[in-house]
Amino acid sequence: MLYLVGLGLSDETDITVKGLEVVKKAKRVYLEAYTSILLVDQSVLENYYGRSIIIADREMVEMHSDDILANAQTEDVAFCVVGDPFGATTHTDLVLRARELGIPVSNIPNASIMNGIGACGLQLYNFGQTVSMVFFTDNWRPASFYDRIKENRDIGLHTLVLLDIKVKEPNLESLARGRIVYEPPRYMTVGTCAQQMLEIETERGEKVYDENSLAIGAARVGCRDQVFVAGTLKELCDADETLGKPLHSLVLLGRRTHELENDFCRDFAVDKDKWQSIWAAEYQNKQ
């Protein structure tokens, strides 16, 4: 059996009882280590699980999935994923490959950012499409997120924005010279995300949102030290010091924000009076 085991959002204790039982009995245990991270070291996980762990980077999962699936017809293999295994579509290919080989697959779910973000006070029923924000470069500024946000806001829904992480990314200059040198890990912050969103709004000019659009920055959701900061997109450009270390996410409020949602979120506001004023003018009674 191939088991896809969700590890939750925070540390070694977030794994479910069922997931821990699988990990303890599996022949091999892999940890997918490129779509997200736990906030503890590999050694902490190994000590808690009582098992050695094989780190599965993007190259292994995408190019050498046969190594992961080897002998899984006759022995148990645990593929551990931060959050929930199907919180994103990233691991669908691995499941499809297992099916082609006649390997049974079992999914053990867990909390992910997709439901954990409800702790910011916004109701999960009122979220639209989730989008991703990548690091811009001098010649690459993908803006497909803008159209998805527009679709959400046209019907009044919130948008969860997942922020880019770069883990074990090859240096392109070295790669061009035939050498593989990996860049240090990078994790996008709410400030960078908010700034890039405003840059794209300036370029597109369709008034999907603006500097005064209300949003919530989130850091380390599900952890003991999780932090939320609410404010305008302009205010969130300067919120990184308050939010602290990775991982960060951002939510852009929809115009159907309920009064109870507003009351909850306002406690996180940089400027509570300003937040309330904008909400009353732009969001209240827009359902």
For residue range 24-48, what is the model confidence (pLDDT) as tens digits? 999 999 998 777 778 788 899 999 9
Domain ranges of the chain: 2-111, 114-283
Residue pair 222/212 in contact (Cβ under 8 Å)? The answer is no
Q: Is 154 annotated as a binding residue?
A: no
Q: How confident is the model at residue 4 (pLDDT cuts 50, 70, 90)?
A: very high
Residue 187 identity (one-letter amino acid): Y
Q: Is 191 annotated as a binding residue?
A: no
For residue range 179-232, what is the model confidence (pLDDT) as tens digits? 666 667 889 999 999 999 999 999 999 999 999 999 999 999 999 999 999 999
Does this model's pTM top 0.75? My answer is yes
Question: What whole-number distance in Å separates Cα of residue 158 and Cα of residue 149?
Answer: 8
Residue pair 31/107 in contact (Cβ under 8 Å)? The answer is no
Q: Is 277 annotated as a binding residue?
A: no
Question: Residue 178: pLDDT above 90?
Answer: no
High-pLDDT (> 70) share of the chain, %: 92
High-pLDDT (> 90) share of the chain, %: 77
| Predicted pLDDT at 213 | 97
Fold of 2-111: Cobalt-precorrin-4 Transmethylase; domain 1 (3.40.1010)
| Predicted pLDDT at 271 | 97
Query: What number of other Cβ atoms are within 10 A of residue 287's Cβ?
Result: 12
| Predicted pLDDT at 35 | 74
Q: How confident is the model at residue 286 (pLDDT cuts 50, 70, 90)?
A: low
| Predicted pLDDT at 287 | 57
Q: Is 91 annotated as a binding residue?
A: no
* Rg (the chain; Cα; Å): 21
Q: Is 64 annotated as a binding residue?
A: no
| Highest mean pLDDT (candidates 49-63, 169-183, 214-228) | 214-228
| Predicted pLDDT at 168 | 64
Query: What number of other Cβ atoms are within 10 A of residue 235's Cβ?
Result: 21
| Average pLDDT value for the chain | 91
Q: Is 45 annotated as a binding residue?
A: no
The yes/no answer on whether domain 114-283 falls in CATH 3.30.950.10 is yes
The beta strand positions in the chain, using DSSP E, are 2-6, 28-32, 54-56, 77-81, 105-108, 131-133, 159-163, 165-166, 186-187, 214-219, 227-232, 248-252
Q: Is 9 annotated as a binding residue?
A: yes
Give the angle 9-12-17 at the CA atoms, nearest 5°: 90
| Predicted pLDDT at 150 | 97
Q: Is 122 annotated as a binding residue?
A: no
Question: What whole-number distance in Å separates Cα of residue 147 and Cα of residue 172?
Answer: 30
Top pLDDT among 212 and 173 is at: 212
